[in-house]
Amino acid sequence: MAILTVDQLAQLRRECAQEQATINYEKSQINVAIQAVEDTFEAVRPTLSTNINTATAPLVLTAAQKRLLVKMWLQQKARRE
């Protein structure tokens, strides 16, 4: 589990704020939300990797390919929702 730095939190807060017309939360509140996302993703990361391996067996995607896959999936998922 990685504890995000104050600069990483600030960057994410800024990016979230840019996408919204009204911000109804304070820094401390969005900070813990961002950290919760980080913690949750890190908790499921090993399971996700294992499940991808199971799906593609006997092929094993590299870690970089899996990161790219998750990044692209998440971008598309955000557009779909």
Partner 1 sequence: MATHRIPILGWSTVPDTSGNVFLEPYNVKATNDVWDRLVTIFNDTATRIGLAGGFTVPKNYVGSANIIVVWTATATTGNVVWDFDYRAVGGNDAESLDQAGTQEAVTVTDAAPTAAHRRLEASMALTAANLAVDDEVEFELFRDGVSASDTMAAAAIVVAVLFEYADA
**Footprint of partner 1 (CB under 8 A):** 6-7, 9-10, 13-14, 16-17, 20-30
| Nearer Cβ to partner 1 (17/43) | 17
Angle CA 48–80–9, to nearest 5: 65
Closest CA to 73 of 41, 46, 33: 41
User: What's the closest the beta carbon of residue 55 comes to partner 1, in angstroms?
Assistant: 38
| Nearer Cβ to partner 1 (5/54) | 5
| Nearer Cβ to partner 1 (10/48) | 10
Q: Is 63 helix (H, G, I), strand (E, B) or coil?
A: helix
DSSP 18: H
